[in-house]
Structure 1
Amino acid sequence: MLTRRQFSLMTVAGLAAGPGLASAQTLNDRMTGDVSPVHDPCIIKANGLYHVFCTSQMRAGKGLIHWRTSPDLVTWTFRGAVMPAFPGWVMAAVPETKGAWAPDISFSHGRYRLYYAASTFGKNQSVIGLVTTPTLDPADPAFGWKDEGLVVASMQSDDFNAIDPNAFVDADGRHWLSFGSFWSGIKLIELDPATGKPKPDAKRLAVAGRSRPSAIEAPFIIRRGDDYYLFVSFDFCCRGADSSYYTVVGRSKSVSGPYFDRDGTDMLRGGGTTVLRAEAGDRWKGPGHCAVLEDAGRHLIVYHAYDADNGGKPVLRIRPLDWTADGWPAAV
């Protein structure tokens, strides 16, 4: 990972600072309001508000897929939950599930698409589901989340895990869903743009993996110029201040890969250039499960980290991304 000193000595290309970038560089020090517990955040900007959705557990008693908004990325307000409970088909598919995991938000074909996963720890009997709404404004009469059903499923006999979805549209307008956790790594499948579900003849492609214990998950793809970037999380989350999670990235000329890290190692063989990682003595442990927002000429990396000074609680974190002269992202 680039240190601040190394980054300052390199020629930075790509994003102009843009209005507000200087203040955005101190977002994590300035953020207030309801920023915890936030785990596996995704983000979108709509109607002048930033919307964050995150993992939630049934035991919390606040519904599933928690929702927060902010007008400025600084002050955050809890807005409730997307679903009061799982639809029946989810509970039939994964009877032991205890929460909705790792949502992903996007807008397509006139509707906001919110993907989510249902599973149990350490097992790959999992489903990815989809809910949609035409607006994120609860005061709009058109507002309302609609269950669109199953997107992808995995069973214990499969060599992949259908969790951690991320939807993406490539330069040719083709729609894709990346997903995966442990097992044989990160997968990519082409979607029908109209439905947001896999095309009938779509093949499941492998884009990243690691050797056992295969600790890789949480893919997120962006495009910058002619390049595609695949962010993933390595190692272990969900252990509070003992979490070893960290975030890496690879780059490709094709959305389907191969993705290589800065040293030329294929992500299918464990490659990944570090973007976020806690060092010894850091307060914020296990920074990972990122989303990347392009906003007003800048990129922001949105993620969770565990607060070692507050019982290891997962907290929403946001940092700007700048770009090196040779086209690699660095959190600043």
Structure 2
Amino acid sequence: MRIKHILVLSISLLPLSIVGCKDDDIEPERDDSEEETGFTIPTYADDYSSIASWANRNEWNLANVHDPSVAYYNGYYYMYGTDASYGNEHEGHGHFQGKRSTDLVNWEWVGGPFYEPPSWVADSLNAIRLRMGLEVISENDIRYGFWAPVVRRVNVGGQDILRMYYSIVIDNYIKTGKANTPNNFDGSWTERAFIGMCESIDPAGAVWTDKGFVTTSSSDRGLDYSRSSLSDWEAYFYYNAIDPTYIVTPEGKHYLIHGSWHSGFALLQVDPESGKPLNTLGEPYANSVSELTARYGVRIGTRTSSSRWQGSEAPEIIYKDGYYYLFLAYDGLDIPYNTRVVRSTNIEGPYYDISGRNFTNGRGDCYPIVTHPYKFNLSYGWVGISHCSISQKEDTDEWFYISQGRLPPNVNGNPYSNAIMMGHVRRIVWCPASQDEPDNLWPIALPERYAAVPDYGTITKDSLVGTWEHITLRYTYGVQNQASSLTLKANGTMSGALSGNWSYDATKKQLTLGNVVVCVEREVDWEANPRRVTFVYAGTEKNLNATYWGKMKK
């Protein structure tokens, strides 16, 4: 059981508190008029508490987003995520509610796949319990949690459909079946999670067909589900059946990857047509790791090989230019949540980070940092930025990082502001691992959110001269990395947050700061009042163990 998720959801249970490249040689102005371009900068507030009620859901846009997954279908990008909202406004209104957009900027609310827990969950749970010699748990006593779906467009029998894998967690103790509360602790671990699957050809109408059981949490400890105390974190389950991601390989094979916080991530092959496991799973418990993984999937990654509580979760996988890129979330999700990425030429691994650390074997923290809690000047900044969807814009080679961002605690005097979860869509830039490896490209999210800024022409070296807000995203648990001033001088030197020399390749849009190459783009300065277009950069270096983010001050 992911204790950190229970803690976060308890925050949202608190009472709702209302608080008020062209070839042009000339660099155009960065505040081109909307009349000339048809471009409009989003004006919605990041603190959406005043419109958080269910009655205002059509005004939410990207408000109330948690653990999103995005897929393109019939002209729209559809987004679905974990059941969570500020003040629990979602309760009683169905599960995995969605949003849709034509441009990845403006989103409208759409319904989710179901209102009640699917009946197969209780049936599957109690069938397993009976085979384990345990009493069944009455359906009325089962505590459900609805988490982290993944949605993909797939072609089945010549028809495009949306296929969703979703997680349902059972929050009852194994031994007695009682609800997971400290007073009910019975010396056992909490029950398992399930991954189910549903499909739709009419997501706009919220019409989904549930396909039922796919997999469940599985253990290498047989029937020994005992737990010595509430401070014992050596989990009973080897694989935790939550946080699925899904990929179709270039060879046409279909895989589900899932797992969280326990022993790592499982790779499970599924049948392309049915979406169900290709091989028979058998009992979700075994007496050894090898016996278990032979049926429930090979382990392709873990943050720490020796720990069953290793602080990584939410795998997301894409394939690009010969590599499988596996994105993963680190740490607790209220504030410290941050994103890393590793890659492999083989779907089964091994997966390595930018410096060669082996994530499949759990050889230490991985880099680069894709996102991390941060704060630009004149803003409260964002925390809890992870559990991402990586999506490709239809018919382009543009990639996007999509996640929630949480406001820090006590924003605008609101003690519950950390439960405000705004959806963040960021472009991904592919940056060199070092100056000597110009073609060894790694994905980093841009620091400012996507607003579909038009192409105003070539970004020239002269246009980058001036003052910037620079952030070194360096891993510090639960700390927002803050901006400091950086000046790029016309003579090619820099001062402030960084010193030394800088240079710029306008063809590649790559800015070199000392020995770190960053990628430059235009985005909206969301912290400015009013918001405006500016330059931003993101990049890393393979031995830096950090990421550079920056935006230009006007």
Asked if structure 2 preserves the Cα contact closer than 8 Å seen for 1:179 and 1:187, the reply is yes
Picking from 445, 449, 456, the partner of 1:331 is: 445
Picking from 311, 320, 323, the partner of 2:427 is: 320
Q: Which residue does 2:399 correspond to in 1?
A: 299
Distance 1:83 1:161, change over 3 A: same
Which is strand-richer, 1 or 2?
Answer: 1
Q: Deviations over 1:166-198 (max 9, x none)?
A: 110112111000000111011111111111111
Measured in 1, the distance between the counterparts of 2:143 and 2:257 equals: 22
Residue type of the alignment partner of 2:95: L
Asked if structure 2 preserves the Cα contact closer than 8 Å seen for 1:234 and 1:248, the reply is yes
Q: Which residue does 1:175 correspond to in 2?
A: 254
Distance 1:228 1:31, change over 3 A: farther
Measured in 1, the distance between the counterparts of 2:43 and 2:257 equals: 30
Measured in 2, the distance between the counterparts of 1:203 and 1:88 equals: 23
- Is 1:82 aligned to 2:175, yes or no? no
Structure 2 counterparts to residues 264-303 of structure 1, below 5 A: 264-268=356-360, 269=362, 270-273=364-367, 274-279=369-374, 283-295=381-393, 296-303=396-403
- Give the SS at the match of 2:441: coil
Picking from 166, 174, 196, the partner of 2:275 is: 196
Q: Deviations over 1:196-221 (max 9, x none)?
A: 11111565111111234311110011
Measured in 1, the distance between the counterparts of 2:244 and 2:425 equals: 20
Could you tell which deviates more after superposition, 91-100 or 41-50?
Answer: 91-100
- Give the SS at the match of 2:266: strand
- Is 1:256 aligned to 2:322, yes or no? no
Asked if structure 2 preserves the Cα contact closer than 8 Å seen for 1:69 and 1:76, the reply is yes
Distance 1:203 1:92, change over 3 A: closer
Measured in 2, the distance between the counterparts of 1:115 and 1:314 equals: 22
Could you tell which deviates more after superposition, 205-214 or 171-180?
Answer: 205-214
- Give the SS at the match of 1:64: coil
- Is 1:149 aligned to 2:212, yes or no? yes
Picking from 42, 49, 65, the partner of 2:69 is: 42
Shift of 1:280: 6.3
Asked if structure 2 preserves the Cα contact closer than 8 Å seen for 1:227 and 1:252, the reply is yes
Could you tell which deviates more after superposition, 175-184 or 50-59?
Answer: 50-59
Q: Which residue does 1:52 correspond to in 2?
A: 79
Structure 2 counterparts to residues 100-119 of structure 1, below 5 A: 100-108=146-154, 109=156, 110=159, 111-119=161-169
Q: Which residue does 2:203 correspond to in 1?
A: 136
Shift of 1:45: 1.6
The percentage of counterpart residues that share the same residue type is 28
Shift of 1:93: 4.4
- Is 1:209 aligned to 2:336, yes or no? no
Shift of 1:47: 2.1
Q: Which has the higher contact order (CA 8 A, sep 6+)?
A: 1
Residue type of the alignment partner of 2:382: W
Shift of 1:73: 1.8
Distance 1:276 1:191, change over 3 A: same
Q: Deviations over 1:248-270 (max 9, x none)?
A: 00011111111000011011314
What is the Cα-based RMSD across aligned positions, in Å? 2.6
Taking structure 2 as the reference length, the TM-score comes to 0.51
Distance 1:249 1:77, change over 3 A: same
Shift of 1:293: 0.6
- Give the SS at the match of 2:399: strand
Q: Which residue does 1:30 correspond to in 2?
A: 42
Distance 1:259 1:124, change over 3 A: farther
Q: Deviations over 1:111-140 (max 9, x none)?
A: 2111100115784611000011123342xx
Residue type of the alignment partner of 1:174: K
Q: Which runs of 5+ in 2 are unaligned?
A: 1-20, 23-29, 32-38, 45-58, 126-138, 172-188, 219-224, 226-235, 281-294, 433-439, 447-554
Asked if structure 2 preserves the Cα contact closer than 8 Å seen for 1:166 and 1:219, the reply is yes
Task: Give the paired residue count.
Answer: 301
- Give the SS at the match of 1:172: coil
- Give the SS at the match of 1:287: strand
Residue type of the alignment partner of 2:209: K
Asked if structure 2 preserves the Cα contact closer than 8 Å seen for 1:49 and 1:69, the reply is yes
Measured in 1, the distance between the counterparts of 2:239 and 2:83 equals: 23
Asked if structure 2 preserves the Cα contact closer than 8 Å seen for 1:188 and 1:205, the reply is yes
Asked if structure 2 preserves the Cα contact closer than 8 Å seen for 1:129 and 1:150, the reply is yes
Distance 1:316 1:123, change over 3 A: farther
Shift of 1:247: 0.6
Distance 1:185 1:31, change over 3 A: farther
Asked if structure 2 preserves the Cα contact closer than 8 Å seen for 1:168 and 1:175, the reply is yes
Asked if structure 2 preserves the Cα contact closer than 8 Å seen for 1:250 and 1:271, the reply is no
Asked if structure 1 preserves the Cα contact closer than 8 Å seen for 2:193 and 2:242, the reply is yes
- Give the SS at the match of 2:207: coil
Residue type of the alignment partner of 1:107: R
Shift of 1:279: 3.3
Q: Which residue does 1:4 correspond to in 2?
A: none
Measured in 1, the distance between the counterparts of 2:149 and 2:200 equals: 14
Q: Which residue does 2:284 correspond to in 1?
A: none
Structure of larger gyration radius:
2
Asked if structure 2 preserves the Cα contact closer than 8 Å seen for 1:65 and 1:103, the reply is yes
Measured in 1, the distance between the counterparts of 2:202 and 2:384 equals: 33
